[in-house]
Amino acid sequence: MALDDPLLQGFRRFQQQYFSASNPVYASLCQGQHPVTLVIACCDSRVHPPALMGSQPGEMFVIRNVANLVPPYSPHNEHASVAAALEFAVLSLNVGRIIVMGHSGCGGIQALLRRSTPRDSALTRWLAIAEPARELTYRHHAGASAALQARQCEQAAILVSLNNLLGYPWLADRVKTGQLMLNGWYFDMHEGALWGLDAESHRFVPLVCPLERADC
């Protein structure tokens, strides 16, 4: 393997930052992890939660999949990977917050809207989780532009995932008792802004405005 491999160079920078004598972060992390937040994000290479939020190693537990989806609760665990990670984060790591983080320009949501994947593909079956978001978008925004439909569906899919989270009984119990908080966030990569779901209005409101706008 070439010594100038950019990934190896990146690891060396990581090594120098977190394993140096002046900043031995992993000296304590090797004993165990205690993240306070679980982020459910898209596997899109442009959406990297620790980088977006300035999180350090050990602070954030992350589940990533196509279109940041949470499948409905099932005692048979049809989608065992997400269910297992949720169970581990909530019941074993005792995270106090779950953020479902969607984003603009999501290829998974585009595929869902346009029905552009093969009917019998794994991706089509996975995206079916967000079918309620697609139906809502076309019911209320049938005449809108493709860009607006995509944004509406991306945000509606976050709501679908949040509602699905509450179907997990052991998770819902912690929400009811105040041990666990749920948030829906939307990263607008075109503007470099962050939006959050307002629980009362069920609308997304600005959390962090674009750099050129301080009053949004």
pLDDT one-digit tens code per residue, 80-139:
899 999 999 999 999 999 999 999 999 999 999 999 999 899 999 999 999 999 999 999
d(CA 212, CA 161) in angstroms, rounded, equals 31
Helix runs in the chain, H state only: 6-18, 25-29, 49-53, 80-87, 107-114, 122-127, 131-140, 146-165, 169-176
DSSP readout, 90-119?
IIIS--SEEEEEEETT-HHHHHHHHT-S-T
Average pLDDT over the chain reads: 94
**Would you state the CATH architecture of domain 34-208?**
3-Layer(aba) Sandwich (3.40)
The CATH 3.40.1050.10 domain(s) of the chain lie at: 34-208
pLDDT confidence bin for 216, thresholds 50/70/90: low
| Type of residue numbered 195 | W
Q: What is the pLDDT of residue 212?
A: 81
Q: Per residue in 25-63, pLDDT tens?
A: 899 999 999 999 999 999 999 999 999 999 999 999 999
Length of the chain, in residues:
216
Q: Per residue in 149-169, pLDDT tens?
A: 999 999 999 999 999 999 999
Q: Per residue in 174-209, pLDDT tens?
A: 999 999 999 999 999 999 999 999 988 989 999 999
| Type of residue numbered 130 | A
